[in-house]
Structure 1
């Protein structure tokens, strides 16, 4: 059978069609039959349903042309808060969707089983199925993007939590006197190491400002200044790396994962600057001395379709 998975972000939809595993040993990227990537202008639940339906039709057309079976179920990874039963989207700010029964709406429209989850769970499920955590029984994800996403997967299933908000690891407090976070708390990991936090800090680094054509530097400009040897930029990037390590020192004893997957656009584009600091800081202040936590740190491997792959895996019977 064929399952579809979609990662729906603020402006794009990444889609995959996934075949049943060729062998009982697990999934590989060879199981991905089709990949798509489209921009969208979703605003509101009806618009979301229309966009998903159009993307399902596109995948089905490509599958038919290649002689593959049609889609039998659909998984969605959304940048959204949703109920624990994963049937209602409570709030998806970038999509303009609030308190909408998205699962039922899509099932009625498509006539197919639908599975919803958030984008971080989808991301780690993809890496768990055929990426950086494929050989691990448990893993956590720290994804540095605009904010900091997180997820925990054990034995092939994500942690949902009592209110559907399990493993929001970017909102672990690492310094109560730290900057205010997007969640209105103070000192979250996201407030130190997310893309918005680095953008805030970059504004005070002249070398980063000079690299930005419009004078408004981003994490990319900050990283460029650091690579060029600017001391202030290096200090900011090192601070972000230490913040990630501080978060992990709190998370590793709680979750005891085999693998920590480090992903997200900021992490992957700045890994040369961040990963050595994270590794050195953890080595210097290891939690549970003498216990191998985790067995390893690993950069995410599946690129921009990781969450779509994970959504498809969740939708598979």
Structure 2
């Protein structure tokens, strides 16, 4: 059985074709990276439900063509990881802001369009399921994810299964509050991890860092320019990233006693590109303010390993089950 996994973000669709292996998700790793038979990556300009269906169908057809060229069997099921809020049954996209899709019964519509079974989850759950299947958490039965991208994604996976929650919103770890008086977050609350450490938050703060602004075309600094200014030794840029690392650690101090994971996976573009700047801060803060002091707590912080196709791999793994 060959399974397609698709990861739909705000501007791209990453796709994989995965050799299905089945197995019990709690019995240890049953996949390896050589089970990924094909990979694709394409930009998109999705706006609305029909455009979303068209783009997903094109991505599956592209994978099928690559499989045929290599003599592999065609796709028999599709898993989708999407940057969206979903109903608990994973049938309906309640809101995908970057895709202009609201209250759309995506799973049934896509299954009808493709003629194969379809499984859907959000992108952060897909990300961690992928890392748990064959990446940074493959040897752990429980793991949490903090992913610093445009915002801050999160997930909690036990025995290969993500936490869904009563309303389908379980694992929104980026919206854990670390300071009730902190900056306003995209969710309208104050002081979430995302309000300090997401890419949009770092771009907001970069606007007040002269060295970052000077590096930006047109003076519109982003997290990338902030990183460059920090690497050049600018004290203000370094302080902003220090605060971002503090926020991640402060969130983990709340999450570790709640979930008791074997592994914390740190991922997302911002985290992985700034790991040498952020990880020492996170580790230092956790060591200085360990939760449940006096109780042995081997804290494993692992950087995500599967790159830009992690969520697509996770989506395919979920579809295989």
- TM-score, normalisation: structure 2: 0.96
In the alignment, structure 1 residue 241 sits paired with structure 2 residue 245 = yes
SS at match of 2:188: coil
In the alignment, structure 1 residue 220 sits paired with structure 2 residue 255 = no
In the alignment, structure 1 residue 149 sits paired with structure 2 residue 153 = yes
**Cα pair 2:29 2:134 within 8 Å, conserved:** no
2:166 to 162, 166, 169: 162
**Cα pair 1:139 1:259 within 8 Å, conserved:** yes
SS at match of 1:291: coil
SS at match of 1:36: strand
Q: Deviations over 1:202-258 (max 9, x none)?
A: 111111111112211111111111121111111111111011000000000000000
Aligned partner of 1:174 in structure 2 is: 178
SS at match of 1:150: strand
Aligned partner of 1:135 in structure 2 is: 139
**Segments of 4+ in structure 1 off by > 6 A?**
none
Aligned partner of 2:57 in structure 1 is: 53
Q: How many residues align?
A: 317
Aligned partner of 1:107 in structure 2 is: 111
Q: Map 1:236-275; keep pairs closer than 5 Å.
A: 236-275=240-279
Q: Distance in 2 between matches of 1:220 and 1:290?
A: 40
- Change in 2 beyond 3 A, CA 1:165/1:191: same
Q: Map 1:1-317; keep pairs closer than 5 Å.
A: 1-21=1-21, 26-293=30-297, 295-317=299-321
**Cα pair 1:17 1:35 within 8 Å, conserved:** yes
Report which stretch shifted further, 209-218 or 76-85: 209-218
Q: Distance in 2 between matches of 1:236 and 1:177?
A: 17
Report which stretch shifted further, 85-94 or 285-294: 285-294
- TM-superposed deviation, 1:115: 0.3
- Change in 2 beyond 3 A, CA 1:146/1:25: closer
**Cα pair 1:256 1:294 within 8 Å, conserved:** no
**Structure 2 unpaired stretches of 5+:** none
Q: Distance in 2 between matches of 1:101 and 1:4?
A: 20
Q: Distance in 1 between matches of 2:56 and 2:209?
A: 42
SS at match of 1:214: helix
**Cα pair 1:22 1:31 within 8 Å, conserved:** no
**Cα pair 2:143 2:262 within 8 Å, conserved:** yes
- TM-superposed deviation, 1:20: 2.4
- Change in 2 beyond 3 A, CA 1:197/1:292: farther
- TM-score, normalisation: structure 1: 0.97
CA RMSD in angstroms comes to: 1.4
Q: Distance in 1 between matches of 2:12 and 2:29?
A: 32
SS at match of 2:318: helix
**Cα pair 2:80 2:121 within 8 Å, conserved:** yes
Report which stretch shifted further, 278-287 or 194-203: 194-203
**Structure 1 unpaired stretches of 5+:** none
- TM-superposed deviation, 1:292: 4.3
Q: Distance in 2 between matches of 1:290 and 1:269?
A: 34
